[in-house]
Structure 1
């Protein structure tokens, strides 16, 4: 994980992923682990929310843009 910003209803992540592993597997792993850890830390979530994440996600490839520009974009989301 290169950069991350959490928002009230979504998360911005800048990650480098091995194409052999795949984006879908990475998203599934991140959602699964974060859900388990949050439910352990905040047990009331188990009974109040059937699922912490939706099944959907958005992915954009940033192959042509300089990494510094993308990092700045993700960092700037906290100010919105």
Structure 2
């Protein structure tokens, strides 16, 4: 019997119990009022904190760049991880942590909210994966 699946490179797949997957999402979210508060050492702190959250929640950050007013990430996660839930966790935890670690940012925001409630999520195919990684990595150069 012929294989009914046209699978990408076997190394790009993740194997679960009874399923195989390859899910990548390009995720972008902004600070409230697009305020440029993620500058200096704050961007490095956010990167480290997001990496530790990825380890805790068992997803992979393939590429990430923190701009002064928004965050870009390419995430590889399991099918059980719902995107709205993931973003609620990421944004909520980073905001709480940032206000504790860098209380000076709260003074630059009205109402004390770090993140805009909106976000952008785009699925990534095997063909566009390298383009997205290059795009995220080149953000600081633009």
TM score, norm. by length of structure 2: 0.50
The equivalent position to 2:118 in structure 1, one of 49, 56, 60, is 56
Residues 1:43 and 2:103 are matched in the alignment: yes
Structure 1 residues 1-80: aligned runs within 5 Å: 1-46=61-106, 49=109, 50-80=112-142
Unaligned runs of 5+ in 2: 1-60
**Poorly superposed stretches of 4+, deviation over 6 Å:** none
Unaligned runs of 5+ in 1: none
TM score, norm. by length of structure 1: 0.83
User: For the structure 1 residues 45 and 19, does the alpha-carbon distance in structure 2 shift closer, same or farther, using more than 3 Å as the test?
Assistant: same
CA deviation map 1:34-76 (0-9, x unaligned): 1111111112344553200011000111124253332111101
Q: CA RMSD in A?
A: 1.8
User: For the structure 1 residues 78 and 58, does the alpha-carbon distance in structure 2 shift closer, same or farther, using more than 3 Å as the test?
Assistant: same
- The structure carrying a bigger strand percent of its residues is 2
Matched residues, number: 80
